[in-house]
Amino acid sequence: MALFILSILLYYHELMWKPYFAIMIVILSSIFLYSTLDFDSGYLRIDFLDVGQGDSILVTSPSGKKLLIDAGRDKKVLRSIGKEMSFFDRDIDAILATHPDADHIGGFPYILERFDVSYVLKTLASSNSSVFGLFNRRILEEGATEIVPERGMLIDLGEGVFVDVLFPLKDYVIDSNSGSVIVKVIYKDTSFLLMGDSTVGVEEYLVEIDGYLESDVLKVGHHGSKTSTSEVFLEKVIPEYAVILAGKGNSHGHPHKVVTDLLESKSINILSTADLGTITIFSNGIDVWVD
């Protein structure tokens, strides 16, 4: 890298007396360095993207592999993801649609236009909406491999990062929030439980069948709606942080006070995109921290 930049400087040595040439070279060199250096090497990085009233989560492993879970309602996802990824990086290894609601898949057509995507994970649930139809057309145009996520599936993102699919079960098809894909991102001794728009009924089911729901970070179900995040569920997860993806001043009243009061009563740190914008959390496999 240093040799490459040095060769540029030598090539333009005779022009260096012209200030604007010198400035141009410095700028180009800086851009090149920024686009190629891995600032977060050794860390798992999860960006809970600010896309307004919707969900979008970018998981980046220490190896640089990326999984985008949901994409919000519209092209706002491009602006948010553009702040977290290099302008020159046009690859996302896989995208995952938790369920076909517009506030989760509406941004995917824009993602598929802009980025090279190898795999698309989505359930068998469907929708009559125009955005769902557009999403499927873009997948065909991209030529990405489609995978149906189901309980027991393990996605390897490299460097010891795994995405464990906890729900839905095989051949379980529900088009509503209760059919949301639930995953646990695991990096050594740390984990992130991402609940989509899942409901209390599904939470209670997981409590009955799962012995390892405990996680450092909980992405609260359904934007903090009172239809999710029961007390019995929280007592199983015991998170240090609860992340709520919601738009500021949204018409649904998310997050509901009953949910935030419950989280506070458990001394869980609440982080909301409505208040903070994009929320970035790192893990080194032992500890997690908020950027």
For residue 132, the enclosing domain spans 40-290
114 and 245 within one domain:
yes
96 and 1 within one domain:
no
227 and 130 within one domain:
yes
Q: Over 60: is that where the pLDDT of 133 sits?
A: yes
Domains: count for the chain: 2
164 and 25 within one domain:
no
278 and 236 within one domain:
yes
Query: Tell me: the pLDDT tens digits for 90-106?
Result: 999 999 999 999 999 99
Give pLDDT, residue 41.
64
Query: Tell me: the pLDDT tens digits for 236-256?
Result: 999 999 999 999 989 998 999
- CATH number assigned to the domain comprising residue 143: 3.60.15.10
| Mean predicted confidence (pLDDT) in 193-213 | 95
111 and 15 within one domain:
no
Question: 233-265 as b/e, with b when 16 or more CB fall inside 10 Å?
Answer: bbebbebbbbbbbbbeeeeeebbbeebbebbee
137 and 29 within one domain:
no
172 and 158 within one domain:
yes
Tell me which residue has tokens 């995040």: 229
117 and 10 within one domain:
no
Query: Tell me: the pLDDT tens digits for 149-187?
Result: 999 999 999 999 999 999 999 988 988 899 999 999 999
44 and 33 within one domain:
no
Query: Tell me: the pLDDT tens digits for 56-99?
Result: 999 999 999 999 999 999 999 999 999 999 999 999 999 999 99
